[in-house]
Amino acid sequence: MAIKLSQRQQSALIWTLYGLGLLPALWTFWAGASGTLGADPVKTFERFLGLWTIRLLILTLAITPLRDLGIFNGLRYRRALGLLAFYYAAMHFTVYAVLDQALFLPAIVADVVKRPFITFGMIALTLLVPLAVTSNNASIRRLGSRWSMLHKLVYPVAALGALHYSMAVKVLGVEQYIHIGLLVLLLAYRLVRPRLMEAKRQKRRAAA
Ligand code: HEM
């Protein structure tokens, strides 16, 4: 049975989601500041934020298939999850630029140009910017059907994120296979989705 929530309850849930979503970053920042983040706290912090970017991208992409399959209609939470993914990517980059590279621009530019995994990460972050900027109701109204086209950029972002992740880690273990596997699965679903939806429509028409 679907639970009907009032407008106020829905927005309270969304704000709770933002709060919960930012907890991992706050917790790791606190652990780093209090010296309990291991031998290389900057690297650990940087990796942790990158990993949460991937997790939030997975959750964002999972909303549509879960809805299609009738498991969970979480459309109203997709914006918060997508924005959280962007915030984590921005924090991941900030830790890299400020704590790892001490804001030394020539080193950052050299990394982006010469190290393919950083190039892919940088492209993914750049593509996330227009999505974050236009994730408000006014932009949805103003852009009309172009909004949906623009927001399809989330797929190249996810593919580049998976590539960046698989190249950043030295050895692929269970954790990496699970995260990358889920991203590949969600991207593959997008490719077959139009055909699945058409088949569903035809079945409904035939039944009617
Ligand atoms: C959507 C964008 C991005 C995603 C999803 C992402 C995700 C990740 C993930 C999952 C890792 C590996 C974490 C682990 O070892 O378990 C990682 C590592 C790394 N990322 Fe990103 N990243 C993104 C953008 C960037 C950008 C823009 C930069 C810098 C310009 C960057 C720099 C790095 C570096 C240097 C590492 C390796 C840290 C190390 O182990 O030495 N990433 N990233």
Which pLDDT belongs to residue 5? 83
189 is written with which tokens? Answer: 């679903």
User: CA-to-CA distance for 42 and 94, rounded, in angstroms?
Assistant: 11
- pLDDT recorded at residue 6: 87
Give this prediction's pTM.
0.94
| Spans of the chain below 70 pLDDT | 1-2
pLDDT of residue 196: 93
Select from 90, 14, 78 the least CA-distant residue to 52: 90
Residue 32: name the closest of 111, 99, 79, 94 by CA: 99
According to the model, what pLDDT value does residue 1 have? 52
Å from CA of 50 to ligand 1 middle: 5
DSSP conformation class of 197? H
**pLDDT (0 to 100) of residue 7:** 87
Query: Best mutation site among 84, 92, 126 for ligand 1, i.e. most ligand atoms within 8 A of its Cβ?
Result: 92
Distance, CA of 73 to CA of 23 (rounded, Å): 24
